[in-house]
Structure 1
Amino acid sequence: MHKTIGILAHVDAGKTTFSEQLLYHTNTIRHRGRVDHQDSFLDSHTIEKNRGITIFADQGIFTYNNSTYYIIDTPGHVDFSPEMERAIQVMDYAIIIISAVDGIEGHTETVWQLLRKHHVPTFFFINKTDYEGTDPTSVLAEIRSTLSENVCDITTSFDEELIEFLAERDEVLLETYMDSGFDKDLWTQTLKLMVKENKIFPCASGSALKDIGIVEFLEKLDSLTTTFYKSDDVFAAQVYKIRHDESGNRVTYLKLVNGTLKVRDSVTYNEQTEKITQIRQYSGNKFKTTDQAIAGELVAVTGLTNASIGDGLGVFAQKTEFDMIPTLKSKVLFNASVHVKEILRCFKLLDAEDPSLRIFWDEYFQEIHVHVMGVIQLEVLEQIVLERFGFHVSFGEPKILYKETIGNSVHGYGHFEPLRHYAEVHLLIESAARNSGITFTNICHANDLSTGNQNLVKHHLFERDHHGLLTGSTLTDVKITLLTGRGHNEHTHGGDFREATYRALRQGLEKAENILLEPFYDFTIKVNMDLIGRILSDIQQAAGSFEPPENSGDNVFIKGRVPVATFMNYSTTFASFTHGKGSLSLVYGGYDRCHNTEEIIDRLGYNKEADPEYTSTSIFCAKGKGYPVYWHEAEAAMHCL
């Protein structure tokens, strides 16, 4: 049986130390490393050793009771949460490590929400119980009140409390218990099923550093987890990581969910087929090659040159969408002696390994921009570029990533007809739910526009981010419908429908109620009652909103929303005036209306008339010569009306 187990936590909760203990007790490693000693098996990268934090989601393999376990040690720092989320998509089970000293912290809630989104059955381990003054019972109560009331204590197996807990949630089990008493096998199988179905979340406690409770937890983990993969079925897999080895080979990490995979097999993905040239099994930074992999295994392969993270292979056509989206962007600064194309080539490799970077080349300003979660990520990127490529780079001050949408419905018309070219596109552009992105529907009849050209319109709408009119920021949260269009058997050429589609979109935006969006945090703050006035004042000054505060003993809880721009550095201020005794949880809460639209428009200074990649002006042809028709006159000139 193959089981993929993810280890997740807020930074410094003891996640890597916990993982090292599992590997040690299953005879995978001879020495238990520590992050602070720079000798842990899973944090093998030089940068991880130097910084003492996990940055990359690396895996270890061990066997226990006839099962093969793949454990993925994920980053705990919020700046590297996209790496953590990419690993979640292939987990069979997850273990959230919570420090008994600190309790639930900001990133813990983010981890929990992502695991629920991907329906990953979850265990908890309350760590650091050896510290003086810690109380696992109170931490368990906090988990139940903050995350889920369906968390049960499995530290002492089937005691009276656990029996009552399960019986409350399974009437059949309760009736059996009343009729014939306690049957351990039945209760274990029921608990295993309830865990698998995300109805129950088991919790234990101990100390990873002092090796307390680890073996007992492993025994329970083994008895309460199960997987079933069909190796005799058709091949299907999912890509969860991309790396490049020391020889520059692109290495694609896969989770096989069906069938088998052999060296020299041909694999289909994204409408292309490539041949597998090598299959590797990684544990830490070392690997061994194998001729075949079967369903349930995590392997790395060479030979796939274009597969990207989240792609499905074989019959698994689904592509995973990720929630951890950077809200900052920064300009890459480098020495003029290095050619920009060489810098861009290196960053494109990094972009394949971390697609959340969304490396962007600004042709007009001749600049490279990266999207990031925070300043720690930029510091790490500097080290990675120097170590891997030998370049010294730095980054400009991170700036908020704004987006734009519309507040009404408009028709957009685009026509492109210089001499010997022809394409016309009509779009309906409607406002959509916040944080829904761009969606597309098609009601165009094939009699008006061929299916191939209809597909071209859709392709051009999704081939890149499109600019809004207020600041040139990315357009989002719109539903676009292709109404009709026209091509020409002789004069329509490649690129004509790109021109017509872009112009139709832009022409529609010219008539729309354009809205600027900014990223928000959902926050939860816990402070002593004496500080409530200061906190509420700070939230209001930061253009945030909050729900009625809730009292809990001497403390008060405040929940609400606040712009990232005004709160991204608040944690330092908060720690200072609370003297480290309060808690501040900031979870990315999507985009919403910008609180200072006019100020941002003035600051960014975008000129919609001077955007080299976009125009709302259509091109028509008369007497063998093309001429422009400006957006406010374009509708009347269209051929399809």
Structure 2
Amino acid sequence: MDTELENIRNIGIIAHIDAGKTTTTERVLYYSGASHRMGSVDDGTTTTDFDEEEAKRGITIYSAAITCHWRDKTINLIDTPGHVDFTAEVERSLRVLDGAIVVFSAVEGVEAQSETVWRQANHYKVPRVCFINKMDRIGADFEQTFDEIKSRLEAHPIAMQVPMGAGSAPAPGYLTGIIDLYKMKALYFDPESKGADMREEEIPEEFQGLAEEWRSRLIEEVAQLDESLLEVYLETEDVPYDLFQKTLRAATLRGEVQPLFCGSSLDFIGVQPILDAVSDYLPSPLDMPPVEGDDPSGKKQGKLKRDCNPEEQFCGLVFKVVTDQHGEFHFIRVYSGTLKSGSRVLNPRTGKKELVSQLRRVQADSREKIETDEVYAGDIIGVIGLKDVATGDTLCDSKHPIALENIVFPETVISMAVEPDSSAERKKLEEVLDKLSRQDPTFKAKVSEETGQTIISGMGELHLEILKNRMEHDFNLKIKVHKPRVSYRETIKKAQEVSGEFSRTANSVTQYAQVKLRVEPSEEDAVKVESKLKPDALPPKMAELLKQSIKDVTQAGGAVGYPLIRVKLTILDVDYREGETTDVALQAAAGNAVYEALGKAGAVLLEPMMRLKVTTPHEFLGNIQSDLNARRALIVNSVQKGSLTVMEAEAALSQMFGYSTQVRSLSQGRASYSMEPLKYAEAPAEVLRDMMS
């Protein structure tokens, strides 16, 4: 069993949108024998972009899991989205993966979402290899992209290869192949066999100097990773291959370096060496530390640990739920023990046992999944039969419960109202929204207490549009939607100290309490409640009730009704009278104090700001800049890249609705852009005035 675990690789392919993740995945599946035809993103025929919306738009929306084999390794591969609206798919995939291939475009270099997925991988301590793709494109620049990975991501890439040329035929100096820097061999990939036939030759004379320069850097950097290897290098000016591999693998697993490769997935160049790198440098489940969790009952203090061992007690994490008309399909990473078909497992969140009806090996969306009776620690599996289970839930042995760390997802930034076409479909709408919420943790649905409307919230316009289309096409639901709304936040201008009092006499019984509060702005994107009461100022249970009451009142929002952030409330004093200060009186006094404090502190409306990156040919630059100025965007940087200009800007989300259509119109479809949440910033005063008038 240990040998089998050593040969498993749970990896993901992550990148900015349009860097070539899905095309790279298609090549991997073809060369590994998992697919007998090579799909095309442009034709909508890829294996992992199986959803109708994905095929139509040419982008990945849902992470897709598929199993393939290379050399003696079993690779569980997850292709993830690059569009920021679907960042939750990347987040939950990285939570359960052991390693990742990060793809960069040689033309655009490090982009906004490249930085986001790199930060996510840092957070989960995921070892990585890098692939500079699209070396066949006009404007491809290997060295500039390499330098950007070092500077912008604060990474330590180690080039294992360099390209022979850039661009495509018949342009002069076009990409013909790649150079293996350790072996000092030129690698050529036969286009007639779609790159399946690869041959090694001597390096052409015109690339000899380039190869020697980069190889010297490679050997020197790897030698410096280990003292004993450095001694060998200083004596011989070279390092033996087995020690080179061992040292580089160990440093990659520690996250100190990232082996870097290059090529063109579209032109079938350089994909097999990435598969070799997955085998050689990325971790098996045995290389990962034990998974940690808490005792759900709270009886045991400290962290509980589970080793990646089939003989351990079972525990696993549900990292994805797929919902359609046929039911629910749950993706589970098994961290310890053995999961058997027909067994019952505990969900610590609900306290209920769940029946594992079937275990199936997953091949993207294929319903012809391979059934199996049991699956062991370190593997990824699909489960049928679970009922009340959501993304992020732990499943475990009921006699040895453990709750693994949940997956934290970003807050939604955009909302719209949705209603059924007829009152008869209202119940069906509720059921569909509940299913979609369980599947997608960044999708929220609630009924507004003020208007009675059903409000759905998500990560962006595209996100909500995709979900709307799913309701209509996948669930045959006829709905009407209303204009998207921005998810504003509120904070306060200044500090204030106030007292809130409650005094009432009824039937000769007096209830009384007075609470003194200080409210002030803070730096945290949350509401913080502290107490400076003396230990004997209130009975302990009442003191806890007071703090909770203040938190509950602030959850109703500020002056306009939006959630509060960056606010700190401190309980300064309480006038407590034995026999008169009841729970009800204390809660009422606390509420009065909070409302008065927020009113006097002055409301500040905060709006979500987006980080925007626009890439455009020079001739359309003026039009696009004028449009951004009209949207009150702040252009913070502008860089020339060949015939293109790359602008970075900060813009309010409220001003960016419909931007995808506009930027295409202004550039004859030749400009591209990416956008991701940046921060909350103060909205213009007139926006707040309009809301309060």
Alignment TM class, shorter chain as reference: 0.7 to 0.9
Go from structure 1 to structure 2 and tell me whether the alpha carbon gap of 1:430 and 1:295 turns closer, same or farther (over 3 Å shift): farther
State the Cα distance separating 1:582 from its structure 2 match: 7.2
State the Cα distance separating 1:490 from its structure 2 match: 13
1:301-380 map, 5 Å: 301=383, 305-312=387-394, 314-323=401-410, 325-380=411-466
SS in 1 for 2:424: coil
Give the alignment partner of residue 222 of structure 2, picking from 147, 162, 166. 166
SS in 2 for 1:266: strand
Residue 178 of structure 1 aligns with which residue?
234
Residue 297 of structure 1 aligns with which residue?
379
Contact 2:613/2:647 (CA < 8 Å) preserved in 1? Answer: yes
* 1:94 aligned onto 2:111: no
TM-score by length of 1: 0.79
Contact 1:404/1:514 (CA < 8 Å) preserved in 2? Answer: yes
Aligned length: 600
Residue 404 of structure 1 aligns with which residue?
490
Residue 241 of structure 1 aligns with which residue?
320
Contact 1:415/1:504 (CA < 8 Å) preserved in 2? Answer: no
Go from structure 1 to structure 2 and tell me whether the alpha carbon gap of 1:185 and 1:32 turns closer, same or farther (over 3 Å shift): same
1: CA distance between counterparts of 2:363 and 2:674?
A: 34
Go from structure 1 to structure 2 and tell me whether the alpha carbon gap of 1:49 and 1:582 turns closer, same or farther (over 3 Å shift): closer
Residue 615 of structure 1 aligns with which residue?
none
State the Cα distance separating 1:305 from its structure 2 match: 4.4
Residue 215 of structure 1 aligns with which residue?
272
* 1:475 aligned onto 2:553: no
Residue 109 of structure 1 aligns with which residue?
115
Give the alignment partner of residue 517 of structure 1, picking from 606, 621, 630. 606
SS in 2 for 1:280: strand
* 1:17 aligned onto 2:23: yes
Go from structure 1 to structure 2 and tell me whether the alpha carbon gap of 1:395 and 1:498 turns closer, same or farther (over 3 Å shift): farther
Q: Output the amino acid matched with 1:258.
A: S
Give the alignment partner of residue 82 of structure 1, picking from 84, 88, 93. 88
Go from structure 1 to structure 2 and tell me whether the alpha carbon gap of 1:527 and 1:446 turns closer, same or farther (over 3 Å shift): farther
Instruction: Quote the RMSD (CA, aligned, Å).
Output: 4.2
Contact 1:88/1:118 (CA < 8 Å) preserved in 2? Answer: yes
Q: Output the amino acid matched with 1:319.
A: N
Residue 343 of structure 2 aligns with which residue?
264
State the Cα distance separating 1:219 from its structure 2 match: 0.7
Give the alignment partner of residue 689 of structure 2, picking from 595, 602, 606. 602
Residue 142 of structure 2 aligns with which residue?
136
Go from structure 1 to structure 2 and tell me whether the alpha carbon gap of 1:72 and 1:506 turns closer, same or farther (over 3 Å shift): farther
The superposition leaves residues 41-97 of structure 1 with CA deviations (integer Å, 9 ceiling, x where unpaired) of 222223333333222112111233443322111122233223332322222222222
1: CA distance between counterparts of 2:688 and 2:524?
A: 21
2: CA distance between counterparts of 1:296 and 1:489?
A: 60
* 1:253 aligned onto 2:253: no
Contact 1:404/1:473 (CA < 8 Å) preserved in 2? Answer: yes
The superposition leaves residues 578-624 of structure 1 with CA deviations (integer Å, 9 ceiling, x where unpaired) of 77787755432121221x13x22233347xxxxxxxxxxxxxxxxxx
The superposition leaves residues 526-545 of structure 1 with CA deviations (integer Å, 9 ceiling, x where unpaired) of 77999998888776665455
State the Cα distance separating 1:8 from its structure 2 match: 1.9
Give the alignment partner of residue 277 of structure 1, picking from 340, 356, 360. 356
Q: Output the amino acid matched with 1:209.
A: L
Identity %: 26
The superposition leaves residues 198-233 of structure 1 with CA deviations (integer Å, 9 ceiling, x where unpaired) of 221222122323332211210122100123252244
State the Cα distance separating 1:384 from its structure 2 match: 0.8
Go from structure 1 to structure 2 and tell me whether the alpha carbon gap of 1:481 and 1:167 turns closer, same or farther (over 3 Å shift): farther
Go from structure 1 to structure 2 and tell me whether the alpha carbon gap of 1:48 and 1:97 turns closer, same or farther (over 3 Å shift): same
Contact 1:128/1:208 (CA < 8 Å) preserved in 2? Answer: yes
| Structure 1 portions without partners, runs of 5+ | 607-641
Go from structure 1 to structure 2 and tell me whether the alpha carbon gap of 1:245 and 1:372 turns closer, same or farther (over 3 Å shift): closer
SS in 2 for 1:35: coil
Contact 2:158/2:221 (CA < 8 Å) preserved in 1? Answer: yes
| Structure 2 portions without partners, runs of 5+ | 162-179, 183-214, 287-306, 396-400
2: CA distance between counterparts of 1:270 and 1:315?
A: 10
Contact 2:323/2:436 (CA < 8 Å) preserved in 1? Answer: no
Contact 1:347/1:359 (CA < 8 Å) preserved in 2? Answer: yes
Contact 2:106/2:134 (CA < 8 Å) preserved in 1? Answer: yes
Contact 1:449/1:487 (CA < 8 Å) preserved in 2? Answer: no
2: CA distance between counterparts of 1:488 and 1:197?
A: 61
Give the alignment partner of residue 53 of structure 1, picking from 43, 54, 59. 59
1: CA distance between counterparts of 2:512 and 2:376?
A: 49
SS in 2 for 1:283: coil
Q: Output the amino acid matched with 1:166.
A: V
Give the alignment partner of residue 8 of structure 1, picking from 14, 21, 39. 14
Q: Output the amino acid matched with 1:203.
A: L
State the Cα distance separating 1:441 from its structure 2 match: 5.2
2: CA distance between counterparts of 1:340 and 1:429?
A: 45
2: CA distance between counterparts of 1:560 and 1:100?
A: 22
